[in-house]
Structure 1
């Protein structure tokens, strides 16, 4: 079947809630890099890892330099890797996430992957340990980049998917499913569509105001989610 549309899923607070494990991993990485205890962690919703890292360091009185990012992200990967069991125990797939992924895999011509501001390694752990990676081609996903913003990462993912499947995927046939207005803006920059899901910090009204093409309250209504994805990516 010719692949002609790309569905990108945000990970945190769209598909999964791994907040407890993320805070623990950040605290360990912070202590490893700075030698001190983390008192306050920056908000993560809609942001890239570098924004969260540098703001967390600043919140805790650390004068930062360029070397901090590489050191912190490496420590964060290690901290997550040793917490795989805690992801299974304390993180959760959000209601309807598994069903939505399975149903979207049956959309004619669809390629599914992820678009996240998080590190690729940590995103893969969350999805694998919660059993959500089965219908996702993570090799064409978009992950944290110290160089490219999210909007550019969406475009990069679209190009990777088109090359991997030897096809053409239009910008307008690319949809980001996400929970934050910053993700909506990233989709707009990439000329992609956006299905807002009000499972994070933003309300349905706020997602619509940000410019989401369609909005659902959660992923629990599989039929409504798939109908929206079909409408948004239909040629």
Structure 2
């Protein structure tokens, strides 16, 4: 008797992290302040708002608004210092931050879909993204090696394609807009999905309101992740070519 065949992985789900799955803004700001002082020798006066941007972009803008001319080694030094500062504060994440409503059940429920693999597409650098999700027990269903992160100096739409390429290399399946879905809370996430080649589920729990997400082009918009069945149905419908043509 032949051994059972493993199910093919043919759905790629990309999660934004901040304000989609977790909110750890207080700890992140403290880590930025320490990293800024370590790199520049000056106290941080103004941190530019994230607004869905990658850490690499935030670093350059933060240096600029604080009157620090950017030098060639500033970005790698800052990101290294940021990783260390954040790791030193990882014990505060669950105490001073919060898991977004329904995040754990949504991840668990989506993981049960046939052929699905879940990863993250985030402006956060990889080590910090791992800390953020581990602090709330949200890392169990995430394959971090397939994701796209803030230390990779690309627009988020390009990072989406990088993640699709990593998934194809590992799993042997081509990932396109027909079987890739992104879940995020900002219009920047929507734009990245539309440009990069993925369906988009907007979650109105963070930076953008439901109407803004719809106007930006999200395929579906949910108020939050608290209805896991609704999240699963959205992912299933948007990663099934037959369903999408029928709709």
Normalised-by-shorter TM-score class: over 0.9
> Are 1:165 and 2:171 counterparts?
yes
Q: How does 1:1-235 map to 2 (within 5 A)?
A: 1-235=7-241
**Structure 1 161/84 Cα, relative in aligned 2: closer, same or farther at 3 Å?**
same
Secondary structure of the 2:181 match is strand
User: Is the Cα contact below 8 Å between 1:31 and 1:37 reproduced in 2?
Assistant: yes
Q: How much is the aligned-residue C-alpha RMSD, in angstroms?
A: 1.2
User: Is the Cα contact below 8 Å between 1:3 and 1:169 reproduced in 2?
Assistant: no
Give 1:145 shift. Answer: 4.0
What TM-score comes out, normalization by structure 2 length?
0.92
Give 1:146 shift. Answer: 4.2
User: Is the Cα contact below 8 Å between 2:79 and 2:151 reproduced in 1?
Assistant: no
- What is the match of residue 3 of structure 2? none
2-side partners of 1:147 and 1:25: how far apart? 20
Unaligned runs of 5+ in 2: 1-6, 242-247
Give 1:60 shift. Answer: 1.5
Instruction: Decide which moves more: 20-29 or 150-159.
Output: 150-159
Give 1:11 shift. Answer: 0.4
- For this pair of structures, how many residues does the alignment match? 235
Give 1:201 shift. Answer: 1.6
What TM-score comes out, normalization by structure 1 length?
0.96
Give 1:167 shift. Answer: 2.8
Unaligned runs of 5+ in 1: none
Runs of 4+ in structure 1 deviating by more than 6 angstroms, as ranges, are none
Give 1:29 shift. Answer: 0.5
